[in-house]
Structure 1
Amino acid sequence: MSGRIETVSIPNIAWKTAADIHFPPNFDEKKKYPAVVSAHPIGSCKEQTSGNIYGKAIVKAGFVVVTFDASFQGASGGGPRFIEDPEFRVSDFRFVVDFIQTLPYVDAERIGVLGICGGGGYAINAAMTDYRYKCCVGITPVNFGRLSREAFGDFDPVASLEKMAKQRTIEAQGGDRLVINLLPPTVDDAKKATTDIDVIEATEYYKTSRGQAPNGCTSGLFSFNSAALAWDAFNHAEVLMTKPLMVVVGDKPGGFGAYRDAQEIYGRAGSKQKHIVALPGISHYMLYDKPEAVQPALERVLPFFKEHLGEAR
């Protein structure tokens, strides 16, 4: 059973969440394993970075790992498609832990969570509000609410909300839905449009063979983005973030703001055990899959999980 992956459908509010259970080497169903839930970035899917990079490494270290597609995205259910609503995204984590804590080979008292990019912000919020998660890791975490108010909203959130309201009215009256692509179509287009390292490197990851996956659509339903503008991944972190926390970020900042978000949550978190790892010379998207970034990240992340979740018993 070593290296086995089992695809499951997890009950959600009114649809199913698509998830993969990754089993560690020499898996023994009679043992109780610590588990880690790994969450994908915004506009991504479970097969990109959360599963094939971090999930794979955590499994090799002896954990059961569960990766899942967000509601309305990837292979998960829910409609309309391509909704990026933070409340639903965080709710997904609760349904996933509902499911995995019933598995006979998972120790319900030793479940941790990891997320990358926007998934990191959601993972942190989930750990703040669902204490079945015993520790949390954010890999280059992004607060999607802050990003929506700033770069994704042209730094004019009120104007963005006006446009979203008009577009949702059009759609409610039978008009076509407006699905926007979050990135330029090619790396050349990205370089012509901006000098921002995050946009260029995101395009290189998502729009080339480096990171492309069938369900990694990098798309968003514009009219349903309004909920994000009033949301804050770190709201009440001073009081509610009580679990051990680690954030890993590169020290080369880009327009999506992971560096500042990592610094903010590290400063605000009420956790007695919290760590920030700032990797020199590393950018946001290098932490998705580049060995020179991922390896030093894992050198801190894996011992953190072992310390707080233990090993199979």
Structure 2
Amino acid sequence: MKKLPIIIALTTSITATNITKAQSTQKGYQANPFTLVYEGAITENVPGKVNIHPVSYKLNGIDIAANIYTPADYDASKKYPAVVVAHPNGGIKEQTAGLYAQRLAESGYITIVADAAYQGASGGQPRHIDKPANRIEDIHGMADFITRYAGVDANRLGILGICGGGGYTLKAAQGDKRFKAVATLSMFNSGEVRRNGFQNSQLNTIQQRLKQASDARAQEAAGGKIIYAGVADITDEEIAKTTTDLYREGYEYYYRTHAHPNSTFLYTMSSLPDLMTWDAATNMDLINQPLLMIAGSKADTKYMTDEAFKKATNASKELFLIDGATHIQTYWKPEYVSQAVNKLLEFYKSNLF
């Protein structure tokens, strides 16, 4: 969003309209016993159908909350291919990552999606730390857990990263060769955007923002108040005035139609030095696994997928565009989700069987 700073004051305004919407949203996620907020979500585990299994495990001393989806007629004595799903920035396992995990399970895969450390229902203090090394380690941790899960064939492990999870997936796959097939959907290069601004709109303030973030870290280290960047709340009027599809539709998705109390656009300002000096599209030559990158043809984030894809040297790579889709529409719109899922199934079938 060219007119919205990457580092902004914590928004805390609450209007009567937002209270009403929050109450409506609360009823929405509470209506599902697993608090899933996507269309067609599992509401109960039924024998013979796709089931969901909430699990928790330790990763570097932090409690990680995850959901595992098992296919219909799951038999722990058999062997199944598996897919790790990495959620978007600000997202959690109950939103689009869960939707794609469930859809893949419907086609015979065991899938896992976990909340990032310091985020969602996972542990870690202070809350909302958002550093690339942590997010990449989250992906390795999901692989550690799912490859030891009953019925999983560790030699047939794939990965899907969505939005920011897509950028972290590219980095995780460079060194983790347990992943035999690597896919991204609407990939978002968190480092590039935090550094340069969305669509390179903040190139002139990089050093200023780095200084601001460094000061925030110093304040934390001295026992001072934690400073947060991002958006805590937003009015309908502010959403309507947002000029980019990514942020306007993102606010609608995360704060209105698919809101969940564990999902937030906040992150510690002290995370920014790590983010701003990192880039998802470096060392793409280290990915020797088959690579599929999916993006909406109308996505204003597509330039990030294009940049990373161009740098990939592996002959077994494919760029698949969903005609007419924006970034956020690939999260939920049935016709676009179906196209993405069908392409993923084709890709995984070719490389995990």
User: What is the TM-score with the length of structure 2 in the denominator?
Assistant: 0.82
Cα offset for 1:134?
Answer: 0.7
1:166 to 215, 235, 238: 215
Q: Helix, strand or coil: the match of 1:46?
A: coil
**CA RMSD, 1 decimal:** 1.5
Cα offset for 1:217?
Answer: 1.4
1:57 aligns with 2:103: yes
Is the Cα contact below 8 Å between 1:187 and 1:200 reproduced in 2?
A: no
| Letter paired with 2:219 | I
* Paired position in structure 2 for 1:24: 71
Q: Could you give the per-residue CA deviations for residues 4-56 of structure 1, whole angstroms, max 9, x where no partner exists?
A: 211212221121211111111111111011000111100111111000x2111
1:199 to 244, 247, 257: 247
| Letter paired with 1:289 | W
Q: Distance in 1 between matches of 2:170 and 2:346?
A: 19
* Paired position in structure 2 for 1:5: 52
Q: Helix, strand or coil: the match of 1:79?
A: coil
Q: Helix, strand or coil: the match of 1:26?
A: coil
Q: Distance in 2 between matches of 1:98 and 1:279?
A: 32
Matches within 5 A, 1:36-75: 36-51=83-98, 53-75=99-121
Q: Distance in 2 between matches of 1:149 and 1:36?
A: 31
Q: Could you give the per-residue CA deviations for residues 248-289 of structure 1, whole angstroms, max 9, x where no partner exists?
A: 1112242xxx30111122211122211101122210000010
Is the Cα contact below 8 Å between 1:183 and 1:203 reproduced in 2?
A: no
Percent of aligned pairs with the same amino acid: 35
| Letter paired with 2:252 | E
Q: Could you give the per-residue CA deviations for residues 73-105 of structure 1, whole angstroms, max 9, x where no partner exists?
A: 011111111011011100111111112212231
| Distance change (3 Å), C-alpha of 1:187 and 1:250 | farther
Matches within 5 A, 1:180-259: 180-182=229-231, 185-192=234-241, 194-208=242-256, 210-238=257-285, 240-254=286-300, 258-259=301-302
Is the Cα contact below 8 Å between 1:83 and 1:225 reproduced in 2?
A: no
Deviates more, 1:109-118 or 1:178-187: 178-187
Cα offset for 1:183?
Answer: 7.0
| Letter paired with 2:350 | E
Q: Distance in 1 between matches of 2:154 and 2:166?
A: 22
1:289 aligns with 2:335: no
* Paired position in structure 2 for 1:264: 307
Cα offset for 1:136?
Answer: 1.0
1:122 to 149, 157, 168: 168
Cα offset for 1:223?
Answer: 1.8
1:141 aligns with 2:187: yes
| Letter paired with 1:158 | Q
Q: Distance in 2 between matches of 1:182 and 1:241?
A: 34
Provide the aligned length of Structure 1 versus Structure 2: 303
Is the Cα contact below 8 Å between 1:250 and 1:282 reproduced in 2?
A: yes
| Letter paired with 2:114 | F
User: What is the TM-score with the length of structure 1 in the denominator?
Assistant: 0.92
1:176 aligns with 2:225: yes
